Amino acid sequence: MAKKTKKPRSSGIKKDFTIQLSKQNKIITGSLLMLFSIALFFSFVSYYFTWQEDQSLLTEFANRNELAKNLLNKFGASVSHFFIYKGFGPASIIFTYLLFISGYHMFLSKPANGLLRKWIWGLVLIIWFSIAFGCFAPNQPLLGGLIGYELNDFMQDYTGKLGVILLLLFGLTIILVRLFKLSPDVVAVFLKAKIAAIRAELKSKASPTNTVPKDDSNSEEDPELEHADTEESTNIIDTYTHKQDIPPIQPKKAEDQFEVAIAPEEDLAEEENIAMEVAKLAEEKEEKDNISEKLVEDFGEFDPTLELGNYKFPSLDLLDNHGTTGGITINQEELEENKNKIVETLKNYKIGIAQIKATIGPTVTLYEIVPDAGVRISKIKNLEDDIALSLAALGIRIIAPIPGKGTIGIEVPNKNATMVSMRSVIASSKFQKAEMQLPIAFGKTISNETFVVDLAKMPHMLMAGATGQGKSVGLNAVLTSLLYKKHPAEVKFVLIDPKKVELTLFNKIERHFLAKLPDSEEAIITDNAKVINTLNSLCIEMDNRYELLKLAMVRNIKEYNAKFKARKLNPNDGHVFLPYIVLVIDEFADLIMTAGKEVETPIARLAQLARAVGIHLIIATQRPSVNVITGIIKANFPARIAFRVTSKIDSRTILDTQGADQLIGRGDMLFTQGNDVTRIQCAFVDTPEVDRITDFIGSQRAYPDAHLLPEYVGNDDSGTSIDYNISDRDSMFREAAEVIVIAQQGSASLIQRKLKLGYNRAGRIVDQLEAAGIVGPFEGSKARQVLIPDMIALEQFFTNESNK
Ligand SMILES: Nc1ncnc2c1ncn2[C@@H]1O[C@H](COP(=O)(O)OP(=O)(O)OP(=O)(O)O)[C@@H](O)[C@H]1O
């Protein structure tokens, strides 16, 4: 099960596994490689001295009585025979170098940049040398090795010896130019400098001063050399005078002259323009990247789900089939009957049909007709009521023309609608494979395809429908979809339920999936006064998130989280992994009636701005009248869902077109995200199913608390009533006060960052600071005013307090 739950991320884990080695394993592998390369090196070298004696032993590897002369005995003899004799000759020694540096890199966990290049060039050199030896010394198998010999032989068959030599020269040129960075001008400058140096030496040799030993330091550094240099001049003296003290006196005098004589030599060298070596500086890497790369290398990418690492996603058996295992049952008679009625009705109005086709969906069947040439579409559209009458059916919808098809669609409800179970849509491969941020499986379209959309792309959704038409079931379908696809670390719900009964089941997953205000007991908000605080708190959360995005220099939550996972954002700077927040409001009309502007303003703000920071709104209402769904709200909710509504006007308010009034209810709905309107049968998820799912999730290990939203204190009770006892103060109170006074900025997030505290605790400390009179009252999304100007005043404050 545990494995099953990790399924969506399994590819990522695999990728990490192939790239990452733990630090300990790196040290072990690195030292193994280095020691092995040293063993190879000694084997190879000693092979050249012992190969003749050891050759007969190669077949006697298992015989313990026979010993080889190679420094590494039979292992050394065999390996060297393999590499040198059968392989590449002395060039094989390059292998030992390559193995050694690879091991060295691993041992020190150094980034492997440039290692691949070394290996490529190493192999090129090995091949080049073995071919060269094979070409010039074909009878010496210990030079070219078998491979060098064979390669040379092969090439000579095609190009002859001269061709091979020319190819070798070409290879050499590539090696010199690319590997050693040699070019004709560099060589010319080098030669010039050499010639100049030789010339200067010759010149100075011609002058008498040069016969004198070079200089003081030289003689000090190397006494033997001094002895050798002076030998020539002192020898004669020695033999004739037998005095050893005398000769050093003469050269000492000459040394002074030598220093003068050497000056022009230097001048000459300058004039001749000595080759200058240009030091190549390695490209500087961004320090931050390096650290993050190293962190990722050492610990892997940050995994937000780790805290609840054993979390199990709900399984499919928690959902019911609702007797829909057989799929849609087609009633052939009904189909035929409906077709005939449509054809007849149209005939009565003198509209001929060239072609008719039926697509059977779960609740409605779509009859696509191609009228005879010359028939005006509007004529058919106007016959909607007549066709409905003749078919004696509710909920007929005419789509004229069907966008992108060039046909006219008549949707006729099936006599026996098939229920679409939540289980069938969740199990569909379309949903299971959906690579979306917030995938929602709504139900099935008219052509019986599972309809999956990404809430993050919508980015907010408005849902309307008369009472009893399936709104609550729709909301449950949305929440269930997310529960089946998302880990508690990735998404949080803020649930507002003025009806108090619709969403109560989700209380069980409070500590997994719900977000709430710090001081509230219940996570699901049923009280309208609290709704205002929650919405304002979400606005603060939105502002905080924007601040974090700005600091991280990214544009949206997806990029931010990706950067955070790659460990490019430091949690000490206040960065955290940001879960998506889905705000669900059932009965929005009720809320507007009681709270009016106070809710409308924050909702409009969130709807306008929150999409980039991962806060998404789903608002459901029974009454889609214009005073509930105001222009500003409508403009920011491009995704709209209409269940059956009672009037054409309501349909227009919600969808900007009619049609929702002709739906048949029980989850029959229209979805629009701009222009197209899609008819969908909403998936049915019953209360016992939601109960089972929330039970299943709720029984697992959870976070200590629900996700806490930023604190919001309304204007009325702006904190003056907060009264804290000095003894009740937080143990970090003093440190927090210092942080605030030094920064002259009264924000909880600053305390959070600097003192590494949770938001909740930081919020409480700010309250205590306010009660103590160190910071001013809450000022919305702005930081609080700091009432103490500097550290001296703060010190004074604490002394006064303790004297009281
Ligand atoms: N997708 C569906 N498939 C089948 N039946 C459904 C579907 N959705 C709703 N129904 C039926 O309609 C009934 C009412 O649905 P629901 O409670 O969702 O309505 P509602 O719009 O939320 O009503 P209210 O606004 O009064 O709460 C359900 O009990 C169920 O029998």
The DSSP element (H or E) to which 365 belongs, if any, is: strand 364-371
d(CA 479, CA 731): 41
| pLDDT tens, position by position, 640-678 | 999 999 888 888 888 888 888 888 888 999 999 887 888
| CA nearest ligand 1 atom 5, residue | 666
* DSSP code at position 684: B
Cα(422) to ligand 1 centroid in Å equals 14
| pLDDT tens, position by position, 487-545 | 999 999 999 988 888 888 899 999 999 998 887 888 898 887 788 889 999 999 999 99
> 13 pLDDT exceeds 50?
no
* pTM score of the predicted model: 0.57
In this structure, of 17-26, 76-85, 634-643, the range with the lowest mean pLDDT score is 17-26
Cα(279) to ligand 1 centroid in Å equals 77
| CA nearest ligand 1 atom 10, residue | 666
pLDDT over 70 percentage in the chain: 82
Q: What is the CA radius of gyration of the chain?
A: 43
In this structure, of 188-192, 224-228, 335-339, the range with the lowest mean pLDDT score is 224-228
Cα(368) to ligand 1 centroid in Å equals 29
CB 88 within 8 A of CB 96: no
> 563 pLDDT exceeds 80?
yes
Q: Is 233 annotated as a binding residue?
A: no
| CA nearest ligand 1 atom 18, residue | 470
- Mean pLDDT over 241-255 rounds to 41
CB 365 within 8 A of CB 412: yes
| CA nearest ligand 1 atom 16, residue | 470
Cα(684) to ligand 1 centroid in Å equals 8
- Mean pLDDT over 465-475 rounds to 91
Q: How confident is the model at residue 247 (pLDDT cuts 50, 70, 90)?
A: very low
Q: Is 254 annotated as a binding residue?
A: no
Atom of ligand 1 nearest to the CA of 474: 18
Which of 472, 645, 689, 690 gets mutated to test ligand 1 (max ligand atoms within 8 A of its CB)?
A: 472
Atom of ligand 1 nearest to the CA of 643: 21
Average predicted confidence (pLDDT) for the chain: 79
Which of 418, 666, 680 gets mutated to test ligand 1 (max ligand atoms within 8 A of its CB)?
A: 666
302 vs 703 pLDDT, higher one:
703
Start-to-end CA distance of the chain, whole Å, equals 62
The DSSP element (H or E) to which 297 belongs, if any, is: helix 287-299
| CA nearest ligand 1 atom 4, residue | 666
Q: Is 470 annotated as a binding residue?
A: yes
For 713-803, CATH number? 1.10.10.10
* DSSP code at position 383: T
514 vs 206 pLDDT, higher one:
514
Cα(468) to ligand 1 centroid in Å equals 5
| pLDDT tens, position by position, 432-460 | 988 899 999 999 998 888 999 999 998 99
pLDDT value for 113: 66
> 133 pLDDT exceeds 60?
yes
275 vs 187 pLDDT, higher one:
187
> 709 pLDDT exceeds 80?
yes
Cα(415) to ligand 1 centroid in Å equals 19
Amino acid at residue number 345? T
Cα(667) to ligand 1 centroid in Å equals 6
d(CA 480, CA 474): 10
Which of 363, 471, 473 gets mutated to test ligand 1 (max ligand atoms within 8 A of its CB)?
A: 473
pLDDT value for 283: 60
Hey, where are the domains in the chain? 21-181, 186-271, 332-413, 422-698, 713-803
In this structure, of 34-48, 118-132, 715-729, the range with the lowest mean pLDDT score is 715-729
| pLDDT tens, position by position, 207-221 | 554 444 444 444 344
Q: Is 681 annotated as a binding residue?
A: no
Cα(348) to ligand 1 centroid in Å equals 39
Question: Which residues form ligand 1's pocket by a CB distance below 6 Å?
Answer: 419, 465, 467-473, 622, 666-667, 682, 684
What is the DSSP secondary-structure string of 417-479?
Answer: PPP-BHHHHHHSHHHHT---SSEEEEEEETTS-EEEEEGGGS--EEEE--TTSSHHHHHHHHH
Cα(453) to ligand 1 centroid in Å equals 21
In this structure, of 541-545, 589-593, 731-735, the range with the lowest mean pLDDT score is 589-593
pLDDT value for 17: 43
125 vs 390 pLDDT, higher one:
125
| CA nearest ligand 1 atom 15, residue | 470
pLDDT value for 228: 39
H-type alpha helices, 455-596: 471-485, 510-513, 528-552, 557-565, 588-595
What architecture is the 422-698 domain classified under in CATH?
A: 3-Layer(aba) Sandwich (3.40)
What architecture is the 332-413 domain classified under in CATH?
A: 2-Layer Sandwich (3.30)
233 vs 82 pLDDT, higher one:
82
| CA nearest ligand 1 atom 12, residue | 666
| pLDDT tens, position by position, 754-794 | 888 877 788 888 888 888 888 887 776 677 888 888 888 88
In this structure, of 143-147, 551-555, 594-598, 779-783, the range with the lowest mean pLDDT score is 779-783
pLDDT value for 329: 67
| CA nearest ligand 1 atom 24, residue | 467
Sort strands 439-445 and 450-454 into parallel, antiparallel or unpaired. antiparallel
Cα(362) to ligand 1 centroid in Å equals 16
Atom of ligand 1 nearest to the CA of 682: 1
Q: Is 647 annotated as a binding residue?
A: no
Atom of ligand 1 nearest to the CA of 475: 18
pLDDT value for 610: 87
The DSSP element (H or E) to which 146 belongs, if any, is: helix 141-174
| CA nearest ligand 1 atom 11, residue | 666
Cα(643) to ligand 1 centroid in Å equals 10
| pLDDT tens, position by position, 342-376 | 888 888 888 888 888 888 888 888 888 888 877 77
> 723 pLDDT exceeds 80?
no
3-state helix, strand, coil in the chain (%, to 5): 55, 10, 30
Q: Closest Cα to residue 571, out of 290, 760, 302, 765?
A: 302
Q: How confident is the model at residue 334 (pLDDT cuts 50, 70, 90)?
A: confident
Provide the strand spans (E) within 488-532.
491-496, 515-516
pLDDT value for 669: 92
| CA nearest ligand 1 atom 14, residue | 468
Q: Is 327 annotated as a binding residue?
A: no
ipTM value, please give it: 0.96
Report the DSSP beta bridge partners of residue 786: 775
pLDDT value for 379: 79
